Amino acid sequence: MRELKIEKNMPIGFMDSGLGGLSVLRAAVKVMPQEDFIYYGDSAHAPYGTKPQEEIKKLTFDVVEQLLEQGIKGLAVACNTATSAAVRALRMEYPNLPIVGIEPAIKPAVTCYEGGRILVMATPMTIKQPKYHKLLDKYSDKAEIVSVACPGLMEFVEQGNLDGDELDTYFEEHLNPYLTDDTETIVLGCTHYPFLKHHIMRFLGDKKIALIDGSLGTANELRRRLNEQNLLKDENGEGTVTIYNSTGRQEMIDLSYKLLQMPEMSMERRENKE
């Protein structure tokens, strides 16, 4: 257990197994534009989602230690997989650091439930974890929720391939078998997937299915937690974003900034309805 020195003028740390957490950072910059952010993408060890839990936990702690060396006043574990494998242990190890994790946005999907099917796309590891099963148990009597493991999907984002034909082949194999006429919502339960939203919507064609993710909810929760501890900066300044990637490759940094600047699609339910 470690007591950390935390100050208002420090940046906020973000981590992910790679570039996915940038979808959460994008939302955080929007809700806290005055803040400085440090993002660490562990692309050298990606994917996390097909690794054993202990390995994911160790990798997550290693990344968090690197962020702590720079000095951070709060931490977003912007990865569903790392959250389910490590967030409890992180909170125990750093009790005075505000830490938020992310989990598949099943709650918002159930809140506006209309009686059809809810699909949850996530990494195999997220779907295996007890934390996810607890979440499912909470809502399974209120809605039909079906989990869709998506091994290999985050790699498309890591390679900057957001729109290729191979993606259609992937969705044909991995998503299509679960799509029913009454499917009403797809929860994007991995932070990489929001960057594929345009392509998924195109793949779905005129099916009236909403795509939702937890990035804005997580960003708002982070702001709430920092505010609670009086750690937010005054709102008049403009903050900075610094991005690190464990591959050390400049092209990964360039791709990261490109993803961060990609316009966010509205997260409203039934957004692809006329």
Q: Which residues bind ligand DGL (CB under 6 A)?
A: 16-18, 20, 46-49, 79-81, 123, 126, 154, 190-192
Q: Let me know if 150 is a catalytic residue.
A: no
Residue in 24, 79, 145, 222 annotated catalytic: 79
Q: Which is nearer to ligand DGL, 102 or 226 (CB)?
A: 102
Q: Where in the chain does DSSP place strands (E)?
A: 12-16, 37-41, 74-77, 99-100, 117-122, 144-149, 183-188, 210-212, 241-245
**Identity (one letter) of the amino acid at 16?**
D
Distance CA 193, CA 153 (A): 8
Q: Which is nearer to ligand DGL, 48 or 94 (CB)?
A: 48
* Residue 203 C-beta: closest distance to ligand DGL, Å: 20
Q: Let me know if 79 is a catalytic residue.
A: yes
The CA-based angle 222-74-52, given to 5 degrees, is 90
* Residue 52 C-beta: closest distance to ligand DGL, Å: 13
Residue in 190, 212, 232, 243 annotated catalytic: 190
Extract the tokens encoding 197.
């939203």
Q: Which is nearer to ligand DGL, 80 or 183 (CB)?
A: 80
Report how far Cα 114 is from the mean position of its chain's Cα atoms.
Answer: 25
**Identity (one letter) of the amino acid at 156?**
F
Q: Which is nearer to ligand DGL, 13 or 47 (CB)?
A: 47
What string of DSSP letters covers 104-162? --HHHHHHT--SSEEEEEE-HHHHHSHHHHHHHHHHTTTSEEEEEE-TTSHHHHHTT-S
* Residue 225 C-beta: closest distance to ligand DGL, Å: 19
Distance CA 153, CA 186 (A): 15
Catalytic residues: 79, 190
